[in-house]
Structure formats: C-alpha cells, structure tokens
Amino acid sequence: MFALNTWYVACSADEIDGRPLGRRVCGQAIVFYRAEGGAVAALEDFCPHRGAALSLGRVTEGRLVCGYHGLEMGPDGRTLAMPCQRVQKFPAIRAYPVIERHGFIWVWPGDAALADAAAIPHLDWADNPEWAYGGGYYHVACDYRLMIDNLMDLTHETWVHAGSIGQREIEEAPPRTRAEGDAVTTSRFMDNIMAPPFWRMALRGAGLRDDVPVDRWQICRFTPPSHVMIEVGVAHAGRGGYEAAPEHKAYSIVVDFITPETETSMHYFWGMARNFNPGDRALTAAIREGQAKIFAEDLAVLEAQQRNLSAHPARRLLVLNIDAGGTHARRVIDRLVAAERATAPPALAA
C-alpha cells in the first residue's frame, strides 16, 4: 500500500552517470538515464519492439538504446530509430515526471498531470557549504512501513545498536509524539548522561571533550510519502541541550528517504548531514562508515521481521506507547492512499 501521486527518491545522481539504471518504484519498472545535455529522463522499462528491458541497454549521444536489437528511444517515450527499420510510428511508452535535485533523482509514479516540482521537499543543508553530507543506499526486503516504524521509535537502539548509538537511557526517557496535518514528530531528550561510542567520535570531530556528561536529543519527523528526518545530537551537559550554541554541541540530521519497491521490498537512501567541521572529509567518511554498520544491523532485523509477518499474516501484533510515531505515520499513509483511490479512474483504483 503506497501513495502514487507524490515524489519518491529513485536513485542518487551518480547512479545514472553514463549508463541506464533499472529500478522498480511502487511496483512499476522504470529505467532512468541521462538524455541529451545531461538532463535526467525516466521511461517505462519496456522496449516497444519485443518487450526487452531497456535498462539492459546503453546510452549513446543522449539516446537510450535497447540492448536487444538497437531500438533508440527518446526521453518522451517515443521511438527514434532502429538499424534498417522504420519505427517512428511505434506507440510511445510511458514517460515519468522526473527531477534531479539535492543530489537525488526524484520520480513521480502517479498521474503525470498532477506532478508539481514545488512539492519536492526543501533540504536546507543540501547546497549549504556550512554543512557536510555523506550517505548510501540499501535494498531491503521488507514492507517500507516497517522501516518507518523503526525510525519513528528509536527505543530499539538500546538493543540493536548497543555497540554504537544504543544506551539504556534511551529506554528510560519517555518519547513524546504529536501529529500536525500530514507530519508526525516523535522526540526524546536525555540529560546529563555519558555519550555512546558513535557520539563520542562525533564530539571529538567537533573539537569537544568526549569524556564528560552530555545532553542528548532525538527528534524524528515523518512527512509523506515516506520521508523521515531525525535531528540528533549531543551537547556538553548544562549548555542548553538542543538549544546549545554550536561551539558546545555536535548536531546532525539523519536523512532517510524510503521508497517502496514492492509490497515487501524497498529502496533505502540513508545519510547524515552535519553542521560541525564540514570540511573534514575524513570525519565525513568515518561517520558514513559508522552509519552504514548501524543501518546494516537494522536491515537484518527488518528482513527477519518481514519473513515472520509474511509467514503469519493473521497474527495480531501488540501496540505500545512507544509505537505512537509509526502508528500515526501509517494513518497518514492510509488516508492519502484512500484519497487517491477515491478519485482515481476505476481501472487505477482497483
């Protein structure tokens, strides 16, 4: 279950440099490539000649060339040429609204007439030299909503990430959740504690002592269709916590773009943006490596969870107060999907 009339991250910009990329988004097979002039294009991954996957072809002078018989496609889905054949009157295949922004390729899998570039979320840190960013990609074999649940309830850090960001104080600090329109926020604040290993590294990277008590915060924000941004950080205790001046804290935004592939698989684009010591590339690499290990631990848990849920679809699950963020986020998704189906033509709503 996923909304279609919205923007999803399909890939990072460097994934399509010089070659086509096939990726399934919301159950739809799409090929992404750079057309003439370097502009990004997205087409149905289906050659109109024999149904071959266009993503297995190549890009030549801005044209997508099918790797089966050499049929050439334009970014509007129309056939352009084929060796020794007349193909210009072939029916066009579907072309998707697609935009390159913030280092990502965004695709609109729903009604193209409704696509609005202004609806792509603004990322304050993306083009700001005072911020550094490092991230990566994981394919995860689970329902994308399970990842949203995971990110909106960080209680699991105590158990899943005990060697990096987990600590018992997370469990002891009650989360606060609020829903405003389509946005859901869950926050947790921990005062006068010792920083776990990952945050001790971050403190050193910010030029701060790592052996003194800190105030720690986690502010998880869900926005449709499936984005979760998490403000995280530590400040030397007594300096104001979340509101502390920059010289007393290590502050970051955990970036999570979650794109459904199928009902039980997803594309996960993760990263961390930080506004301390942005020019230190070694620190960026160290944080990225640490994050990659943390999210790999989540991946193992989530894929096993999906296998259990698929094997026992009728089992009811317990709902606790720590689940409020994910529960509210699912309600938003349900509401958006229901609204789309109510207004879609019968063939699309089925």
Predicted pLDDT at 349: 52
Predicted pLDDT at 293: 92
Average of pLDDT values for 322-341?
A: 94
Predicted pLDDT at 86: 74
Average of pLDDT values for 335-348?
A: 81
Predicted pLDDT at 346: 61
pLDDT tens digits, residue range 138-187? 999 999 999 999 999 999 988 899 889 999 888 899 999 999 999 999 99
Distance CA 160, CA 115 (A): 39
pLDDT-based confidence at residue 122 (cuts at 50, 70, 90): very high
Identify the CA nearest to 249 among candidates 220, 278, 216, 272. 216
Average of pLDDT values for 207-220?
A: 97
pTM of the model: 0.93
pLDDT-based confidence at residue 80 (cuts at 50, 70, 90): confident
Work out the number of other CB atoms within 10 angstroms of the CB of residue 145. 20
- Tokens standing for 55? 């993503």
Domain 8-119 in CATH 3.20.20.450: no
Residue that is written with structure tokens 């609005």 in the block: 116
Q: Distance of CA 103 to CAs 16, 264, 333, Å?
A: 12, 27, 26
Predicted pLDDT at 348: 53
Using an 8 Å Cβ cutoff, are 153 and 325 in contact? yes
In the chain, pLDDT over 90 holds for what percent of residues? 81
pLDDT tens digits, residue range 134-151? 999 999 999 999 999 999
Q: What is the rounded (10 degree) CA torsion for 70, 71, 76, 78? A: 170
pLDDT-based confidence at residue 347 (cuts at 50, 70, 90): low
Is the pLDDT at 345 greater than 80? The verdict is: no
- Tokens standing for 104? 């990502």
- The answer to whether 8-119 and 132-339 have equal CATH topology is no
Is the pLDDT at 104 greater than 80? The verdict is: yes
Per the prediction, the chain carries an average pLDDT of 93
Average of pLDDT values for 4-25?
A: 95
pLDDT-based confidence at residue 350 (cuts at 50, 70, 90): very low
pLDDT tens digits, residue range 237-286? 999 999 999 999 999 999 999 999 999 999 999 999 999 999 999 999 99
CATH of domain 132-339: 3.90.380.10
pLDDT-based confidence at residue 89 (cuts at 50, 70, 90): confident
Distance CA 258, CA 95 (A): 22
Q: Which secondary structure element, helix H or strand E, spans residue 253, and what is its range?
A: strand 249-262
Distance CA 241, CA 14 (A): 37
Q: Left, alpha or beta for 164 (phi > 0: left; psi -120 to 50: alpha)?
A: alpha
Residue type, 178: R
pLDDT tens digits, residue range 292-325? 999 999 999 999 999 999 999 999 998 888 999 9
Average of pLDDT values for 122-131?
A: 92
Residue boundaries of the structural domains of the chain: 8-119, 132-339
Predicted pLDDT at 343: 82
